[in-house]
Structure 1
Amino acid sequence: MTALVRRAQDARALRDDVSGMDVILMMCAPHYVTTYVPEAAPDLWRRYLGIILDGLRPEGARPLSAG
């Protein structure tokens, strides 16, 4: 994942302050969230994935907290 993140950052398609671990955890988040939402639409995960992916783009990015 680290190599993939570095390639995306080198191509200016991913924020410079995102790590491989960030991406791994964000890949798990949409499934986790929708698993615990009663009566969630089957494709609700797509909404959260879209929000996450938009936040990874470098355009208009604000600094991230150390978290």
Structure 2
Amino acid sequence: MPVATGTHNVDTFVLIKHGNPNAGTAVWLSGDEIDRFPSFHEFYMSMLDYNRLEVKTLKEELEAGEG
């Protein structure tokens, strides 16, 4: 089941449904499999960390005059 996707890139996030041996696993796809998370919670927490890092990097670039 798709969880999230975007219009500006090929990233897609899917959650494997019940009835499959990997049910509950979240998978990040971008052409190929990028990462696999054992649960939606782990996926969500990882995406929060990723976004926090992205904001930190953007702030640092802005402060350095790179953005």
TM-score, structure 2 as length reference: 0.34
Which is higher, the Rg of structure 1 or of structure 2?
2
Relative contact order higher in (CA < 8 Å, ≥ 6 apart): 1
TM-score, structure 1 as length reference: 0.34
Q: Give the strand-richer structure, 1 or 2.
A: 2
